[in-house]
DNA sequence: CTGATTTTGAAAATCATTATCAATTAGGTA
DNA sequence: TACCTAATTGATAATGATTTTCAAAATCAG
């Protein structure tokens, strides 16, 4: 049986030290207009002259996501992608062509998710809600 | 820039032949109460005496998903999971503890997704909507 | 400044998934 | 039924993203 673990790890974490690497990742993530993979961000950092290691980028992104400073989602191909986001819970509208990302609030969906879970006797619901499409600047192929 | 490809491949596919392997996968998938990975289903088949190859299970599951006979989603850990599902578009409410899966219709969400995409100038929207929680039979941990 | 502890990073290890490709098989045809 | 040909299979190698290792470097409280 497949068991789904909680999305975010528990609390009780040890103190994190401040390194230029973590700051470089946080900063680089902020310059991205859409979601990026760890590999992509590492490449971007390398291009801008940083000698940060790939494993460190993976670790920093995972930390940022855990601390709520970044949102993460999985591309349809299964790659983990990250993006610097606002603190409040929200969802994303993502252009499949250029990656443009719009943060969307959806009280309607929040309420629906909770109501649906409750109706079926499920407790502590969490949800994954992402919308993909083609932004107005991108010509829909086909 | 990360590019998101369309979720489902185009049409124009060649004729599929009927093999006991495909039928075994379809059948085994039907006996599962929740989502399973290709590896998990291959293990289940092996346990029940089938000598089907792992690559074949991967291929059969991908085909079933393309043909609409199975739904697929990615576990929070990034594994592709499959489940025999009803034909109509729907979403899932999944127990994080036992894997129990409930199919849910969400006209409300369908409409919201389309409306939101349109409002932001996005065309051809597709969406990922899954709800995870603990079913009534499972004691919520913590 | 010092020392305990955390972090880094290059390289190796994992691990799910895909590609290879020779051998087998399904399904149509005579 | 025998045969042909393209589709399918499956053992294995290859891929590719992510994680682990572990010795060296860095952080930071005291
Ligand atoms: Zn776009
Ligand atoms: Zn939400
Ligand atoms: Zn349950
Ligand atoms: Zn839907």
Closest C1' nucleotide to A18's CA: D27
Looking at the predicted structure, is the pLDDT value of residue A31 above 60? yes
**Is the pLDDT assigned to residue A8 strictly greater than 50?**
no
Tell me the chain A residues in contact with residue B75 when contact means C-beta distances shorter than 8 Å.
Answer: 2, 4
* Distance from residue B106's CA to the centre of ligand 1 (Å): 27
Percent of chain B with pLDDT over 90: 74
Sign of CA dihedral A31, A72, A125, A102: positive
How much of chain B, in percent, has pLDDT values that exceed 70? 88
pLDDT in tens, B31-80: 998 999 999 999 999 999 999 999 999 999 999 999 999 999 998 888 99
Answer for the pair A4, B96: CB distance below 8 angstroms, yes or no.
Answer: yes
Chain region(s) in chain A for CATH 3.30.1490.190: 88-142
For the domain covering A1-86, report its CATH number.
1.10.10.10
- CATH 3.40.50.300 fits domain B88-142: no
Residues of chain A with CATH 1.10.10.10: 1-86
| DSSP secondary structure of B86-107 | -SS--EEEEETTT--EEEE--H
Q: Is residue B13 scored above 50 in pLDDT? A: no
**Strand order from edge to edge, sheet including A36-37:** A36-37, A80-84, A70-74
Least confident window among A4-13, A46-55, A88-97? A4-13
> CA-CA distances (angstroms) from residue A88 to A43, A132, B1?
29, 21, 25
Residue B108 · residue B40 · CB < 8 Å: no
The predicted model scores a pTM of 0.84
What is d(CA A86, CA B141) in angstroms, rounded to the nearest whole number? 29
Q: Provide the angle, in degrees to the nearest 10, between the axes of the packed helices B54-66 and B20-31.
A: 70
């Amino acid at each position: 049986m497949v068991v789904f673990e909680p999305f975010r790890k528990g609390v009780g974490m040890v103190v994190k030290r401040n390194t230029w690497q973590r700051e470089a990742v946080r900063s680089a993530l902020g310059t991205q207009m859409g979601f990026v993979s760890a590999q992509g961000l590492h490449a971007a950092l390398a291009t801008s002259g940083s000698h940060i290691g790939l494993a460190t980028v993976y670790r920093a992104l995972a930390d940022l996501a855990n601390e709520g400073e970044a949102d993460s989602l999985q591309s349809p191909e299964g790659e983990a992608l990250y993006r610097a986001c606002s603190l409040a819970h929200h969802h994303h509208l993502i252009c499949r062509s250029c990656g443009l990302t719009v943060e969307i609030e959806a009280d309607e969906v929040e309420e629906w998710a909770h109501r649906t879970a409750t109706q079926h006797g499920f407790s502590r619901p969490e949800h994954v809600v992402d919308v993909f499409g083609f932004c107005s600047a991108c010509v829909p192929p086909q």
